[in-house]
Chains A and B, each alone.
Chain A
Amino acid sequence: MTIRQSAVVFAWILLIPALLYVLVIVAYPLADTINLSFTNASLRRTYDWIGFDNYRNIFKRGFSEVILRTLVWTFFSVGLKMVIGTFGAVMLNAAVPGRTMFRVLTMPPWIVPMAIGIFMWGWMYNGQFGMISGLLQRFGVIDGPMPFLAFGTSAFWATIVTDVWIGVPMVTIYLLAAIQSIPRDLYEAAWADGAGRFYRFRRITLPLIVPALITMSIISLISTFNSFDIIWILTQGGPSGKTTTMIIDTYRTAIGSYKFGEGAARAVLICIFLSVFCFAYFRLISRFSGATMR
């Protein structure tokens, strides 16, 4: 064996743990799910290969509506998280007294166990006992109890607000780190040239945190697209399916109705959507890196 060959073999040996990890944790479950999506697997102990039937059936019962709703839900949730997170990061970067305390105060939604946070929001949305309805009544905005989870539109937005509340701290802290990595002299030079706060933000901060914004957007997008707990605990996809997203629909099919084949087909579809997002992310990142290099 030549030195070059033994180097290659050695490299592969070093890669074995990582390859095994990927095979066991990612590749095998994914391949098994794809395989399952072409079967009629259910509670029965045996199942048959049924080709693309599951994929054809998906679109028979209003699944297009579910896809659209998922995209809208994800768009608004991620959008709000990014806007509020960016604003929060800029504010927390400001040299104000007690800055550390403010930074610590952004953490609770992230630190509190998710289910507890969601239940808390569930109570706040309650019409009879909830804080939001109570305050709105006290200030005369509404004239009676308003159960926010009772109506399609308000339930849809209520779940988004909860998701944003839980997701914003992570975005804020990540973007704060990105802002802190921007060289101070850029701001000092701009300040010396008479640039105002907003101008400095628009022309220095924002362009330099774009890679962080893109990365955070895609991470947030994947987790939001797959967000299950918030909707399930608050509304279980109701009322009238108005908060049913793809992940809720998949759970209901695979675990609720024990239609593992149909559920797997839905899961594969989610995987395809997320792959498209990831592909777009890498394109954006490479384009941005290229632009920066030039």
Chain B
Amino acid sequence: MTRKTLLGTATLALLATGSMAPVAMAQDETAITMIQCGDALAEGYDGFIKEWEENNPGYKVDVEIIGWSQCQDKITTLAAAGTPVGLAYVGSRTLKQFAENGLIVPIPMSEEEKGSYYPNIVSTVTYDGTQWGVPVAFSTKSLYWNKDLFEEAGLDPETPPKTWAELYDMAATITEKTDAAGYGLSAKTFDNTMHQYLHWVYTNNGKVIDENGEIVLDSPQNLEALTWYGKMVDVAQEGPTAYEQDDLTALFNDSKVAMIQQGPWVRVRLDEGLNWDVAPLPLGPQAEGPGTLLITDSLAVFEGTGYEEQAIDLAKWLTNPEHQFFYEKTHGLTPLRPVDGVEEMVAEDPTWGPFLDGISNGGPEPLFTDYKAFQNAMIDMVQSVVTGDKEPEVALKDAAEEIDAYK
């Protein structure tokens, strides 16, 4: 045997030994693959997963952390390529698209499970009469206002606007009497432009899709919402189409705008010197109570792994009331369920209150088979009104016709 042959044989032997180890492990345990979006494994998940593995011998959870910017694309690409991940963190808005394409399995909830959530939450993951994901992260929005700017403009700093008309008037006063803009209006080509408009829809008793799955965007409530949204341009920062929600938060933090709609996470990010408070979103003329857009992310279980049942069990374990509330508290998210600790949380920090008030009249991100196309159509609609390219009636009608193709 020559030296070369010996080396080759040794290399092959090493490779064979190396590749046998995972096979042996695979015979003993089934790896449940899971993708979590973000920079690190969620606090507490390590322990929850270990506990689940102990209760489910023969299964091991293999978590991959992927940055937000690539996360959804990677999950989708893997599923479409026929090599799906077992369990993944997805925006609930994509569930219908995944379901229609046969990429995920339903995760039906019992009546007891449904009842454990705040009203309307389950609708964010429901399509065709069943649930397709387990809500895992939830956000609502409220109105932040800068008390110093209110005072500077001669307004009562303790009284935020309660209606759209008051919001407009107060914003106009601030724009006129201070160097700041009265209101931070978002209209950039960005997903939260659509979200911001939907907050206006859900604070005026509007809807995008009705119970029968029909598009009802072109409604008087939504027209009012779009008209007011366009009207706010007069009292907002210059050029709303250059700003998305986070840009506006930066302006709010610099006291360059007096009011913004934002989520609860902003409470802990504002500068200490800023004199602010938070209130429920102002209401439109048709409102029946405080409202907001209900945005959830979910754990979805993908079809074709062979261990779908275990993946569903894991998803429900990770999101059971106790684990979920721990996750919400550590991540500053709006609670999904009215569990015991919520009242205490609000008592400790009353700024949580407005984020919970809007839930009962809130509405979901509508589910579409082509969610991105729907989103783009909505953003175009908002931008066309904000820039004055179209009258609200025309823009709404055009968008309603367009999104009908994506439902």
Q: Contacting A151 at CB < 8 Å: which of B82, B239, B254? A: B239
A145 CA / B239 CA spacing, docked (Å): 9
* Interchain CB contact under 8 A, A127 and B189: no
- Chain B: CB-nearest residue to A61: B402
A235: which B residues are within 8 A, CB to CB? 189
Which stretch from A48-56, A199-207, A253-261, A277-285 is at the chain B interface? A253-261
Which stretch from A16-24, A76-84, A102-110, A236-244 is at the chain B interface? A236-244
A247: which B residues are within 8 A, CB to CB? none
Q: Determine if B19 is an interface residue (Cβ-Cβ < 8 Å).
A: no
Interchain nearest-CB distance for A59 vs B (Å): 15
The DSSP consensus for interface residues of chain A is loop
A45: which B residues are within 8 A, CB to CB? 80, 82, 101-102
A205 CA / B79 CA spacing, docked (Å): 58
Which stretch from B152-160, B208-216, B341-349, B383-391 is at the chain A interface? B383-391
Q: Determine if A167 is an interface residue (Cβ-Cβ < 8 Å).
A: no
Q: Determine if A44 is an interface residue (Cβ-Cβ < 8 Å).
A: yes
* Interchain CB contact under 8 A, B189 and A146: no
Which stretch from B9-17, B240-248, B269-277, B287-295 is at the chain A interface? B240-248
* Interchain CB contact under 8 A, A43 and B76: yes
* Interchain CB contact under 8 A, B387 and A127: no
* Interchain CB contact under 8 A, A43 and B238: no
Q: Which of A148, A252, A256 has the most CB of B within 10 A?
A: A256
B251: which A residues are within 8 A, CB to CB? 128
Q: Mark A170-195, 1 if CB is under 8 A from B, else 0.
A: 00000000000000000000000000
Q: Determine if B88 is an interface residue (Cβ-Cβ < 8 Å).
A: no
Interchain nearest-CB distance for B180 vs A (Å): 11
B370: which A residues are within 8 A, CB to CB? 257-259
Q: Determine if A144 is an interface residue (Cβ-Cβ < 8 Å).
A: yes
Given contacts A146-B238, A239-B241, contact A42 B101 (CB under 8 A): yes
What is the total number of residues of chain A having a CB less than 8 Å from a CB of chain B? 31
- Chain B: CB-nearest residue to A253: B373
* Interchain CB contact under 8 A, A258 and B80: yes
B80: which A residues are within 8 A, CB to CB? 43, 45, 258
A241: which B residues are within 8 A, CB to CB? 380
Instruction: Please report which residues of chain A, range 205-253, place their CB below 8 angstroms from some CB of chain B when the two chains form the complex.
Output: 235-241, 252
Q: Mark A30-58, 1 if CB is under 8 A from B, else 0.
A: 00000000000011110000000000000
Q: Determine if B190 is an interface residue (Cβ-Cβ < 8 Å).
A: yes
Q: Determine if B207 is an interface residue (Cβ-Cβ < 8 Å).
A: no
- Chain A: CB-nearest residue to B254: A128
A149 CA / B240 CA spacing, docked (Å): 10
Interchain nearest-CB distance for A231 vs B (Å): 10
Q: Contacting A152 at CB < 8 Å: which of B243, B379, B387? A: B387
A43: which B residues are within 8 A, CB to CB? 76, 79-80, 97-98, 101, 103
A128 CA / B180 CA spacing, docked (Å): 11
Q: Determine if A93 is an interface residue (Cβ-Cβ < 8 Å).
A: no
A145: which B residues are within 8 A, CB to CB? 237-239
A74 CA / B204 CA spacing, docked (Å): 44
Q: Determine if A161 is an interface residue (Cβ-Cβ < 8 Å).
A: no
Q: Determine if A147 is an interface residue (Cβ-Cβ < 8 Å).
A: yes
Q: Contacting A150 at CB < 8 Å: which of B240, B256, B384? A: B240
Instruction: Please report which residues of chain A, range 129-160, place their CB below 8 angstroms from some CB of chain B when the two chains form the complex.
Output: 144-152
Q: Determine if B73 is an interface residue (Cβ-Cβ < 8 Å).
A: yes
A126: which B residues are within 8 A, CB to CB? 242
A187 CA / B303 CA spacing, docked (Å): 74
B102: which A residues are within 8 A, CB to CB? 44-45
* Interchain CB contact under 8 A, B238 and A144: yes
A125 CA / B335 CA spacing, docked (Å): 39
A149 CA / B187 CA spacing, docked (Å): 11
A238 CA / B240 CA spacing, docked (Å): 12
A152 CA / B241 CA spacing, docked (Å): 9
Instruction: Please report which residues of chain B, range 242-281, place their CB below 8 angstroms from some CB of chain A when the two chains form the complex.
Output: 242-243, 251, 254, 256
A61 CA / B403 CA spacing, docked (Å): 12
Interchain nearest-CB distance for B389 vs A (Å): 6
Q: Contacting B380 at CB < 8 Å: which of A127, A147, A240? A: A240
B240: which A residues are within 8 A, CB to CB? 150
B190: which A residues are within 8 A, CB to CB? 236
B101: which A residues are within 8 A, CB to CB? 42-45
A61 CA / B383 CA spacing, docked (Å): 17
Given contacts A128-B251, A259-B370, contact A238 B189 (CB under 8 A): yes
A252 CA / B371 CA spacing, docked (Å): 12
Q: Contacting B389 at CB < 8 Å: which of A149, A238, A240, A252? A: A240
* Interchain CB contact under 8 A, A239 and B189: yes
B379: which A residues are within 8 A, CB to CB? 238
Interchain nearest-CB distance for A18 vs B (Å): 31
Q: Determine if B188 is an interface residue (Cβ-Cβ < 8 Å).
A: yes
B79: which A residues are within 8 A, CB to CB? 43
- Chain A: CB-nearest residue to B257: A128
Given contacts A43-B76, A44-B101, A147-B243, contact A238 B383 (CB under 8 A): yes
Given contacts A43-B103, A147-B242, A150-B239, contact A240 B383 (CB under 8 A): yes
Q: Which of B76, B189, B237, B256 has the most CB of A within 10 A?
A: B189
* Interchain CB contact under 8 A, B187 and A239: yes
A44: which B residues are within 8 A, CB to CB? 101-102
Question: Can you give 19 A-B contacts (C-beta < 8 A)?
Answer: A43-B76, A43-B97, A43-B103, A125-B242, A127-B239, A128-B254, A128-B256, A147-B239, A149-B239, A150-B239, A150-B242, A237-B189, A238-B189, A239-B187, A239-B242, A252-B372, A256-B372, A257-B372, A258-B97
For the A-B complex with A151-B239, A258-B372 known, give 17 more contacts whose Cβ atoms are closer than 8 Å: A43-B80, A43-B98, A45-B80, A127-B239, A128-B254, A128-B256, A145-B239, A150-B242, A152-B389, A239-B187, A239-B242, A239-B387, A241-B380, A252-B372, A256-B372, A256-B376, A258-B80
Identify the 5 closest CB pairs spanning chains A and B, nearest first: A150-B239, A238-B189, A147-B239, A150-B242, A147-B242
